[in-house]
Structure 1
Amino acid sequence: MKYFEVPKCFHEVFGEQQTRLEVFLTVLFACIATIVTFFLSGLSLNHWQVIAAFLIVFDVYAGCIANFSQGTNQFYAQRYKSRLIFIAIHFHNVIIALLLDMYVQESLLIWGYTIVSACIVNFLKSNRLQTFIAANLFCFGILVLLSLSMPNWLILISLFFMFKVIVSFAVDHHKQK
């Protein structure tokens, strides 16, 4: 697979080197998932808040895939402090809830669980159980999510948010030997 140099402004998303296929599939999934979620929501694009919320939804979906790529994974594996900052700034689901003015308390709960779980997984970077613990925490998060009274489309966004941060990002998928 042939790699290309990623422009510096996109290093946080795709790392320093990436394949065209990985970029294409990341953007394709994010576009399709965002459109499907938008139609499931029944909302209309008549307010800037809805447009802004779904741009953030796009970022959640894109990160679910991009973080598994070798380029993105390697970028953050070499920058421990940047990895911690990336985890800390993930307020996506809370911002979406605030923009849409719905389920803010539930989103705060999901956010808190996700960030604590991601920090635990990130701390286990050199541990062979890192992926197992991430999967376990994600599955417990699903139980928490399903106990909340939210519409399915918002649960879907929350599931992908948890997956993005706990499993896709916090796990070092391409450990250097």
Structure 2
Amino acid sequence: MFLRRSEKRGIIFLSVMILALFVLPLASRERECPLFLLTPPATSDTTGISLTKPLPSPIELNTADSSTLVKIRGIGSYYASKIIRYRERLGGFHTPKQLKEIKFQYLNIDTLLARFTVNPSLIRQKDLDTMTFKAVLKHPYLAYEDVQLIFNAKRKFGKINFSILNSEKILPLYKLQKIKPYFK
């Protein structure tokens, strides 16, 4: 079979690419020898002073302003404002894992969770009995149907608070556990 010069080049190029992409990585794993022999950087010099930077102190989410949040790598002014708006809707963060509930398109929040702390005593608890339907509906954990159930119970019992919601099983248990820190 006769092959043209361009076909020969293509076959050679394809075989080199297969070798580089599939064969070499497998061969380097089998020997457990790194492909590039780089030594790790020294963590201290001869004087005993550590050259690595200490980790910054964690940021408290319930008191942080946007200028504090922007100091974290990966969080710009847009993401900082999203975090603050969500904190206002919630009434405060109960745990740093609640940041996962915010949609971050280009940020992996899991890698940053260790940089945050939360003081649950700073959560602003709201009184369900004095709130309007629209105000309760703005809470991110409550859907329209949940708020309807709450206000039906308010009409039935004359007043409403978290202990009534819990004792009368107005909402499912998982929702009650989620909203417990936010309502009196």
Please, what TM-score do these two structures have when normalized by structure 1?
0.29
Which structure's CA Rg is the greater one?
2
The structure showing larger relative contact order (alpha-carbon pairs under 8 Å, at least 6 residues apart) is 1
**What is the TM-score of this pair, normalised by structure 2?**
0.29
